[in-house]
């Protein structure tokens, strides 16, 4: 299969996954339900965290427009919210694939990002990092494939920079990287003054994103929620969907650095072939080892490590294009047969990564149906502890303070019944107080 065919196939796969995840309302997972009910109850953007507001505005706008138009079906609104959350990163990755489809080395890197950064961390799709990482990947793909003279490319990079200006704290290191790559690309060509100014403004926007992130990190450094986030950042290994591909990459990297000729043999095929199989069968690991489960909350935990991996892959892409006298490992990777093999291996890895994604989404769909039956058949407050919420597979999706919102969204008559957990909201508080309240959703309801 040619690199172009692989790029097209993975693009189709990503859109198919986005459609599947949209109709199953996966945007409601964890914080997503709380965000949605706050949008509907208050009638305006839920952008309490200004440092990420640009992503919130873009992904929440469709819901507010539908609500303003009179839509009161919470299922339809949940689908619309999920569609916005999944369509935006999918579109960015699709663009990145299109831009690098004729360069096997760059294409292999983008496929690696999709397989090891996006798919293993996107169950928590409401996290703004999903859009930020995808947008930055697309921006790097454009920066490395432009000749520096096309005003359309410069305008596109400026738009990406403005979106990332207030997107996610990882831009503290990704922003300067993109700014440097954009300026380097602009200097390569002989664009007119107007085009050069657009490139410079795009670079400035990414620098601005880094500054916004730096201020945010400084302001929230001692906030209890962010202290907890920092303490769990080293637990990325709990995410099998991330750890398995990462292990394969590290093995190939170490072997390739020590002996570049290894990359030209069967070694990478054997290593990544085993990794592909392990990832594809990961939904069934628990049959032979009960603790080895796919765990959606670990997608949130692994996002910081995924950001670092993304930075490493983006730097590798840039060096691959910029190096005039590259080290031996880059020379080996540039060989047509090695690059083509990498495209096929990482394409297979992306396909394998879709299997646990689909498996978890099917379990999520069943979980939503169970909650819907509970809130439609009962009245008043339903104690979460009376339900099998800690049993398989419900325990995969449990978050105590978001259950009132989720139970209200899926209810035929919101307010008739709420699922509430026994907790003091101090040991595990919602990061924003409004997310822990009982929503009203007057006039709304889940329609079949």
pLDDT per residue of the chain (448 residues) written in tens, 0 to 9: 899 999 999 999 999 999 999 999 999 998 899 999 999 988 888 877 788 999 999 999 999 999 999 999 999 999 999 999 999 999 999 999 999 999 999 999 999 999 999 999 999 999 999 999 999 999 999 999 998 778 899 999 999 999 999 999 999 999 999 999 999 998 887 778 888 999 999 999 999 999 999 998 888 788 777 777 777 778 888 999 999 999 999 999 999 999 999 999 999 999 999 999 999 999 999 998 888 889 999 999 999 999 999 999 999 999 999 888 888 888 999 999 999 999 999 999 999 999 999 999 999 999 999 889 888 888 888 877 777 766 778 888 888 778 889 989 999 888 788 888 776 555 555 555 555 578 888 889 998 7
Model-level pTM? Answer: 0.94
For residue 281, the model assigns a pLDDT of 96
Residue 296 burial by Cβ neighbours in a 10 Å radius (0-12, 13-18, 19+): buried
For residue 432, the model assigns a pLDDT of 56
């Amino acid at each position: 299969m040619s690199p172009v065919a692989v790029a097209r196939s993975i693009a189709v796969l990503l859109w198919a996954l986005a459609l599947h995840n949209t109709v199953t309302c996966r945007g409601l997972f964890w914080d997503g339900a709380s965000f949605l009910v706050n949008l509907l109850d208050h009638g305006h953007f839920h952008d309490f965290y200004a440092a990420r507001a640009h992503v919130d505005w873009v992904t929440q706008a469709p819901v507010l427009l539908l609500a303003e138009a009179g839509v009161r079906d919470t299922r339809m609104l949940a689908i619309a919210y999920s569609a916005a959350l999944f369509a935006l990163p999918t579109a960015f990755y699709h663009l990145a694939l299109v831009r690098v489809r004729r360069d096997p080395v760059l294409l292999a890197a983008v496929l690696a990002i999709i397989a090891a950064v996006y798919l293993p961390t996107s169950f928590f799709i409401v996290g703004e990092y999903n859009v930020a990482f995808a947008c930055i990947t697309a921006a790097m793909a454009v920066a490395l494939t432009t000749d520096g003279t096309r005003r359309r490319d410069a305008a596109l990079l400026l738009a990406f920079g403005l979106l990332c200006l207030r997107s996610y704290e990882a831009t503290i290191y990704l922003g300067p990287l993109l700014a440097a790559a954009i300026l380097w690309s602009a200097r390569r060509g002989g664009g007119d003054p107007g085009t050069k100014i657009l490139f410079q403004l795009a670079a400035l926007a990414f620098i601005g994103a880094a500054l916004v992130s730096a201020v945010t990190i400084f302001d929230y450094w001692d906030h209890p929620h962010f202290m907890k986030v920092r303490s769990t950042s080293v637990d990325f290994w709990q995410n099998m969907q991330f750890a398995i591909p990462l292990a394969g990459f590290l093995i190939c990297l170490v072997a390739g650095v020590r002996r570049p000729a290894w990359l030209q043999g069967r070694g990478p095929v054997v290593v990544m072939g085993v990794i592909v199989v392990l990832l594809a069968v990961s939904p069934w690991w628990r049959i032979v080892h009960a603790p080895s489960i796919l765990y959606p909350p670990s997608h949130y935990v692994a996002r910081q490590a995924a950001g670092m991996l993304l930075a490493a892959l983006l730097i590798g892409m840039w060096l691959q294009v910029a190096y005039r006298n590259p080290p031996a490992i880059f020379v080996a990777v540039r060989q047509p047969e090695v690059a083509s093999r990498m495209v096929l291996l990482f394409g297979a890895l992306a396909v394998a990564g879709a299997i646990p994604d689909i498996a978890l989404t099917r379990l999520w769909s069943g979980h939503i149906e169970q909650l819907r039956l509970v809130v439609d058949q009962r009245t008043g407050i339903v104690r979460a502890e009376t339900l099998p919420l800690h049993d398989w597979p419900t325990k995969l999706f449990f978050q105590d303070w978001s259950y009132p919102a989720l139970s209200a969204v899926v209810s035929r008559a919101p307010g008739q019944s709420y699922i509430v957990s026994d907790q003091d909201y101090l040991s595990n508080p919602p990061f924003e107080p409004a997310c822990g309240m009982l929503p009203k959703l007057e006039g709304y309801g889940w329609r079949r």
